[in-house]
Structure 1
Amino acid sequence: MRYKELVLLFLLATSIAVNAQSEQEIPKVTVGGALRFNYNYSDWKEGSKDRGGDFGFDVFRIDVDAAYKKIILDAEYRFYSKSSGGGMLKSGWLGYAFTPQDEIQIGLTRVPFGITPYNSHSYFFQINYYVGLEDDSDMGIKYAHKDTKWEYSLAFFKNAEELDFGSASPVSDSRYAYDVAGSNKENNQLNGQLYFSFGDQYIKHRLGMSAMVGGLYNIETGRNGNHNAFAIHYELNVKRWDLKLQLASYEKNPKNKEDDPRDVVVMTAYGAPYAVAAKANLYTAGLSYTLPVDMGPISSLKFYNDFGWMDKRVKQFKDSFQNVTGCMITAGGVYAYVDYALGKNHAWLGPEWTNAFAYGGDSNSWHGRANINLGYYF
Structure 2
Amino acid sequence: MSLPASLRLKSTCAALLCTLAAPAMAIQVTDNLDLGGAIRARWDVDPDRDIQKFGLDTVFLSAQYTSDTWIGEAQYRFYGRSYPYQYTKDYGDIQFAKLAWVGYKFNPDQQVQVGLNQVPFGLAPLFGSTFYETLGNVIGLEDVQQVGAKYIQQRGDWNLQAGYYLRPAWQGKGTSKGVTYSSGVSGADSYVADGSDNQERNTVVVRVAKMLELGSWQSEVGVSGLTSTLENRDTGNDGRRNAVAVHYSGKQGPWGVQLQAARQQMSPRNAGSSEVVTLGGYDGTYNVASRGNLYVADLSYDIDAKYLFGQISGVKLYANYSAFDKSADAFKTSQRMILGTSFSFNKLWIATEWLIGKNDPYIGGSSYAQSLAAGGSNQWENQLYMNVGYYF
Instruction: Please state which band the TM-score falls in when normalised by the shorter chain.
Output: 0.7 to 0.9
1:115 to 102, 116, 123: 123
Alpha-carbon distance, 1:331 to partner: 3.0
Provide structure 1 residue ranges, at least 5 long, that are not aligned to the other structure: 1-25, 165-170
Q: Which of the pair is proportionally richer in helix? A: 1
Alpha-carbon distance, 1:221 to partner: 1.5
Amino acid at match of 2:284: A
Q: Is the 8 A contact 2:177 2:284 kept in 1?
A: no
Give the whole-Å Cα distance in 2 for the aligned partners of 1:370 and 1:68. Answer: 42
Sort the Cα spacing of 1:179 and 1:204 in 2 relative to 1 into closer, same or farther, 3 A.
same
Cα deviation code 1:183-220 (max 9, x no counterpart):
10000110000110012995301000100011000112
Amino acid at match of 2:255: W
Give the whole-Å Cα distance in 1 for the aligned partners of 2:71 and 2:303. Answer: 35
Partner of 1:138: 146
Q: Is the 8 A contact 2:303 2:316 kept in 1?
A: yes
Partner of 1:228: 242
Question: Match of 2:100, SS?
Answer: strand
Give the whole-Å Cα distance in 2 for the aligned partners of 1:163 and 1:306. Answer: 31
Q: Is the 8 A contact 1:43 1:368 kept in 2?
A: no
Give the whole-Å Cα distance in 2 for the aligned partners of 1:208 and 1:73. Answer: 26
RMSD of the alignment, in Å?
A: 1.8
Question: Match of 1:355, SS?
Answer: coil
1:72 aligns with 2:71: yes
Give the whole-Å Cα distance in 2 for the aligned partners of 1:163 and 1:325. Answer: 33
Alignment length, in residue pairs?
A: 339
Question: Match of 2:304, SS?
Answer: strand
Amino acid at match of 1:285: A
Sort the Cα spacing of 1:328 and 1:67 in 2 relative to 1 into closer, same or farther, 3 A.
closer
Partner of 1:214: 228
Cα deviation code 1:127-156 (max 9, x no counterpart):
101111111100111101135511111110
1:99 aligns with 2:107: yes
Which is higher, the Rg of structure 1 or of structure 2? 1
Provide structure 2 residue ranges, at least 5 long, that are not aligned to the other structure: 1-29, 188-196
Give the whole-Å Cα distance in 2 for the aligned partners of 1:158 and 1:212. Answer: 13
TM-score with structure 2 length normalisation?
0.83
Partner of 1:367: 381
Cα deviation code 1:46-94 (max 9, x no counterpart):
3x1xxxx110111111121114551211111111116387111101101
Q: Is the 8 A contact 1:27 1:66 kept in 2?
A: no
Alpha-carbon distance, 1:226 to partner: 0.5
Give the whole-Å Cα distance in 1 for the aligned partners of 2:47 and 2:266. Answer: 33
Give the whole-Å Cα distance in 2 for the aligned partners of 1:282 and 1:303. Answer: 23
Give the whole-Å Cα distance in 1 for the aligned partners of 2:254 and 2:203. Answer: 38
Moved more, 118-127 or 135-144: 118-127
Amino acid at match of 2:45: Y
1:289 to 281, 285, 301: 301
Question: Match of 2:128, SS?
Answer: coil
1:29 aligns with 2:33: yes
TM-score with structure 1 length normalisation?
0.86
Give the whole-Å Cα distance in 2 for the aligned partners of 1:256 and 1:338. Answer: 40
Moved more, 305-314 or 85-94: 85-94
Question: Match of 1:252, SS?
Answer: strand
Partner of 2:340: 326
Cα deviation code 1:202-255 (max 9, x no counterpart):
530100010001100011211111010000000010001110000001011111
Partner of 2:373: 358
2:181 to 176, 180, 185: 176
1:261 aligns with 2:273: yes
Question: Match of 1:294, SS?
Answer: coil
Partner of 1:16: none
Alpha-carbon distance, 1:104 to partner: 0.5
1:191 to 200, 205, 208: 205
Give the whole-Å Cα distance in 2 for the aligned partners of 1:294 and 1:138. Answer: 39
Q: Is the 8 A contact 2:219 2:250 kept in 1?
A: yes
Amino acid at match of 1:150: W
